[in-house]
Amino acid sequence: MDASAEVDHLAAERSAARFDVEAMKVAWAGSRHAVEVGDRMARLVASDPVFRKDNRTMLSRKDLFKDTLRKAAHAWKRIVELRLTEEEAGMLRLYVDQPGYVDLHWGMFVPAIKGQGTEEQQKKWLPMAYKFQIIGCYAQTELGHGSNVQGLETTATFDPKTDEFVIHSPTLTSSKWWPGGLGKASTHAVVYARLITEGKDYGIHGFIVQLRSLEDHSPLPDITLGDIGGKFGSGAYNSMDNGVLRFDHVRIPRDQMLMRLSQVTREGKYVHSDVPKQLLYGTMVFVRQTIVADASKALSRAVCIAVRYSAIRKQFGSQDGGPETKVLDYKTQQSRLFPLLASAYAFRFVGDWLKWLYMDVTQKLEAKDYSTLQEAHACTAGLKAVTTSATADAIEECRKLCGGHGYLNSSGLPELFAVYVPACTYEGDNIVLLLQVARILMKTLSQLTSGKQPVGTMAYMGNVQYLMQCKCAVNTAEDWLNPVAIQEAFEARALRMAVNCAQNIGQAANQEEGFYERSPDLLEAAVAHIQLVIVTKFISKVQQDIPGPGVKEQLQNLCNVYALYILHKHLGDFLATGCITPKQGALANEQLGKLYAQVRPNAVALVDAFNYTDHYLGSVLGRYDGNVYPALYEEAWKDPLNETVVPEGYHEYLRPLLKQQLKLSRL
């Protein structure tokens, strides 16, 4: 709660909660330590006037970018002054809440060097990156190619006479396009290009390339770069300098090729190192688990705003002059909002599991154990796709749940949507990623005949004979509260959809043609598998020993809401595959309504458990104290349009028009 709050208009809602909110904060954050660090960093940011953001949507692009540079520099200054740990620094940057070059520097540039650079290269480049003596970005995507990395056109041709690579952009479509931080801030980039030596193309490799002078920040010779222009929304991702970059035969030393996995010798020979290429998957898993974690943060912010405002807003329902009904008490509002609340928790917990998966995969890769690599790839790709798409849709739904006021920039929701929605396309287009998941599902099924048993989240596919013929044992609405019944229904649905796709592909002239023709069905099968993963991990979380009065019960309710909402939303899948009967589908919907009634008195406290300050939420509708209407009124007067009573342009345009109309009316 912010210290400035005087009257808590949501006090009655909070007192109705049937669980320990402080314990739920720990369950959400993962530990008491994480709660304390987050709380400390959030308040540090909120109390610093440099990190003000309430005027962000009113700034011009130039002013917004300069503001981003100022905040990034000030954040680094505070990190150094306070000697913050890596964990604390990460939390501080999170709560600054303004996309900028530092996101790509820490999130992509540094991990790329760690994952693909040799020990010698890491010793050279990482200390400079850690101290911000250089600023890096990740230059992979081009104007003509994004998801199809193998189609990139930038070339890196080795010249044995000078022991250099020549980096070149041979076509307009080979221009690097979109890398964050590239447009104006970065001094260096990891550039991905086609390695050519001895006349042979060896495919895509990474190279560290200096782009700008470390003295005056001007572009180096034969390098053209700039910003690609304004993007969707006010404020939002326009604080990021997404860039364009072209090379005209730019020379770099040979040792600036990232050489952990492969090298080019002084003589120009291409040589594979002893390090297995599978290690690259570790970096990919790391980046995608971060994206899933970000999905839960963005979704929980939107849900927090919508729940609090719905508990304040009243419309209709007045009897004999009595009070109107809170919008949150309407069943239609609950049926749209509470599944999103449950989804926020579901994505949080599956994101926590992905962090474990990243550490597990890393350890196994170092031990040259690749047994879980395929499954890890399917999980990270699929979860990135499903959580980002669901979150983008949910933020927009929360805006609509807040009625007309949700359309105001001061609600925080338009900017939150605009800043989040690119997650659906960056780091892999969601449709492309789901088709990758589908390929792995098809491969896993084909290997069953040879006796190879699937592992991890795909282990259920080994139970194919039972799941293809099992009947759902649900007879009453309450039976849907049994996690065994839920999990079996989701497993049967996912497996039967995958088997159906495999059978249809098998009837095609060849496998690739069948995959192409059945790609819409394969997408749905991939989504079904990933939704099973999310439900399974939520169930696992609930089955753990969770301290705090009422906390486990509330998480169980949210887990059931999420599962039964997905079942209701995709009822056609469950019915078409024969996993459940129409009667059982109706019972699931009946139980869902009962669960909403149980969530209702706890809703405000459940979003309080996210522990977000008013500064981080950035919403007059989502204020902790619920004092919405005075805040809305006050915020309106801050708009630059209200700086003058008579608008600029009145004498040039309005007055002549009005005088002309007045003259005509006298005729």
Q: What angle do CA 425, 66, 58 make, to 5 degrees?
A: 75
Whether the Cβ atoms of residue 246 and residue 224 lie closer than 8 Å to each other:
yes
Nearest to 382 by CA among 344, 435, 346: 435
Q: How many residues does the chain have?
A: 667
Catalytically annotated residues: 427
Read off the DSSP letter of residue 452.
P
CA separation for the pair 307, 128 (Å, rounded)? 45
Cβ of 305: how many Cβ atoms within 10 Å? 29
* Nearest CA among 339, 581, 589, 328 for reference residue 472: 581
**Residues tagged in the binding site annotation for FAD:** 141, 180
- At 157, phi and psi to the nearest 5? -100, 125
What CA–CA distance (Å, rounded) separates 116 from 447?
32
Residue 464 tokens read as: 């194919």
- Residue 10 burial (CB < 10 Å; 0-12/13-18/19+)? buried
> How does 376-399 read in b/e, with b if 16+ C-beta sit within 10 Å?
bbbbbbbbbbbbbbbbbebbbbbb
Q: To which residue do tokens 């040259």 refer?
A: 368
CA distance 502 to 499: 5
Residue list, annotated binding site: 141, 180
* The one-letter amino acid at 33: H
Tally: H helices and E strands in the chain: 24, 11
| Under 8 Å between Cβ of 621 and 102 | no
Cβ burial, residue 598 (10 Å; 0-12/13-18/19+): middle
